Amino acid sequence: MAANPAAGPASLRGRAEIREALIDVVEAIRSGESRVLVLRGEPGIGKSALLEHAIEIGSEARVERAAGVESEAELPFAGLHDLCAPMLDHAERLPPPQRDALRAVFGLGVNGRPNGLFVGLAVLSLFREVGRERPLLCVVDDAQWLDSASAQVLGFVARRLERAPIGLLLAARGSAELGEFAGLEEIEVDRLPESDSRELLASVVRVPLDEGVRDRLVAESCGNPLALVELARAMARSDDGHAPLPAAGPTTARSALSKWSRHGQDGRVPDRGSERSMAVILRL
């Protein structure tokens, strides 16, 4: 573990409270306790960055990870497959019905849809077997896109970890009903305070920015790190001081970006003052 994980990596601004919660997860599993934590928040707010931070500070643990993929949301057990495949060598120690259920999920055994309860129990047993050797940290990003079969199994497992060195960290977009993960401990990843946004901006821009430009970038990004980075990038790309509106991006970032269009014609930043001559060079 890093000497002072609460200080965080140089690249991660703010988030002291959430980092403390992640340290708690890491320390709990190191001492044989289970923990489950769901990070929720709007696109670009920093959920994945926080998961990466958890992996960094939890490097003593065995880390297994998966991510929901929108195009695979209809494929039963696709997410679970990604998460569990590297641990399958421990399946031999499972009771035969659980082992068979797991095999069926992975297309290695009997055909037909496996029994959901047995799959849930099998994954629980698998995690416990792996945890006997070393604390296990399971990290699932973009959980909003997990296929429902995987989400159901992980929700089942998350509620039954009890005393075992197993951590389950999930990140999901939005604040609507969490479905299979409802009722689990969760933290809302809020917008960055202005001071952290300023620090983040300073860390991605190599040259001193005109104060007015800096203020506008910080204000327009509304505390969303992705929006801030994208806005700075858009400014950097324009060698005449105009920032063309990016064509795509997560909804919130895009809506923050779209505000540029209100300041000038055809989605470009107005041609004024230091913005005209700005050739911003980013550390990206």
Ligand X SMILES: Nc1ncnc2c1ncn2[C@@H]1O[C@H](COP(=O)(O)OP(=O)(O)OP(=O)(O)O)[C@@H](O)[C@H]1O
Task: List C-alpha distances in Å: 194 to 118, 159, 214, 222, 225.
Answer: 49, 37, 11, 8, 11
Binding flag, residue 225, ligand X (CB under 6 A): yes
| x/- track of binding to ligand X for residues 28-67 (CB under 6 A) | -------------x-xxxxxxx------------------
Rounded Cα gap, residues 143 and 67, in angstroms: 7
Site for Mg ion in 46-65 (CB under 5 A): 47-48
Of 11-19, 102-110, 114-122, 260-268, the window that binds ligand X (rule: CB under 6 A) is: 11-19
Out of 209, 229, 235, 256, point to the residue binding ligand X (CB under 6 A): 229
Count of chain residues binding ligand X (CB under 6 A) = 20
Q: Is 14 in the site for ligand X (CB under 6 A)?
A: yes
Considering the complex, state which of residue 43 and residue 76 has its C-beta at the smaller distance from ligand X.
43
Q: Which one of Mg ion, ligand X, none is in contact with 45 (Cβ closer than 5 to 8 A by kind)? A: ligand X
Write down the H helix ranges in the chain: 16-30, 47-57, 78-84, 96-105, 116-133, 148-158, 194-204, 211-221, 225-237, 251-258, 260-263, 273-277
Q: Does 22 bind ligand X (CB under 6 A)?
A: no
Total site size for Mg ion, rule CB under 5 A: 2
Does residue 226 belong to the site contacting ligand X (CB under 6 A)? Answer: yes
Binding mask 197-216 for ligand X (x = CB under 6 A): ---x----------------
Q: Judged by CB under 5 A, does residue 255 bind Mg ion?
A: no
Nearest Cα neighbor of 174 from 183, 156, 165, 186 is: 186
What is d(CA 14, CA 278) in angstroms, rounded to the nearest whole number? 28
> Within a 10 A sphere around the Cβ of 86, how many other Cβ atoms?
13
Provide CB contacts within 8 A for 139, sequence distance 6+: 51, 54, 55, 63, 64, 65, 66, 169
Parallel, antiparallel or unpaired: strands 136-141 and 35-41: unpaired
Binding segment (CB under 6 A) for ligand X, from list 13-21, 72-80, 121-129, 131-139: 13-21
* Largest pairwise CA distance in the chain: 73
Residues of this chain that bind ligand X (CB under 6 A): 11-15, 41, 43-49, 142, 173, 200, 225-226, 229, 250
